[in-house]
Structure 1
Amino acid sequence: MATPVPAPAPTGPPITVVGIGADGWPGLADTSRAALRQAQVVIGGPRQLDLLPAEVTAERVRWPSPLRPAVAGVLAAHEGLRICVLASGDPMFFGIGRTLVETVGAERLLVLPHPSSVSYACARLGWPLDATEVVSLVGRPPDSLTRALHPGRRLLVLSADAHTPAAVAALLTARGFGASRLRVLEQLGGPAERRLEGTADGWPHPAGDPLNLIAVECAGGRRGSVVPGLPDDSYESDGQLTKRHVRAATLAVLAPAPGELLWDVGGGSGSIAVEWLRAHRDCRAVSIERDPVRAGRITRNAAALGVPGLRVVTGPAPAALAGLPAPDAVFIGGGLTVPGLLETCWAALAPGGRLVANTVTLESEALLTQWYRRWGGELLRLAVAHAVPVGGFTGWRQAMPVTQWSAVKPPADRSTSRPGEHS
Structure 2
Amino acid sequence: MTNSTSQAEIVRQSLKRRYRKERRFRAYGIAAIAVALTALVVLFADIIGKGYTGFLKTTLTLEVTFDPELMYLEDPTDPAQLRNGDYLAPLIAALKKELPEVSGRRAERALKGLISSYAASDVKDLVAADPAIMGTTQRLTFLASDDVDVFAKHRDDASYSIKLTEQQQAWALTLLERGIIENSFNDVFFSNGDSRDPGHAGVLGAIVGSLLTMAVTLLLSFPIGVSAAIYLEEFAPQNRLTDFIEVNINNLAAVPSIIFGLLGLAVFINLFGMPRSVPVVGGLVLMLMTLPTIIISSRAAIKSVPPSIREAAQGIGASKMQVVLHHVLPLAMPGMLTGSIIGMAQALGETAPLLLIGMVAFIVDVPDGFFSSATVLPVQIFLWAGSPEQGFIERASAAIMVLLAFLISMNALAIWLRKRLERRW
TM-score (norm 2): 0.24
Which has a greater percent of strand? 1
Q: Which has the higher contact order (CA 8 A, sep 6+)?
A: 2
Q: Which is greater in Rg?
A: 2
TM-score (norm 1): 0.24
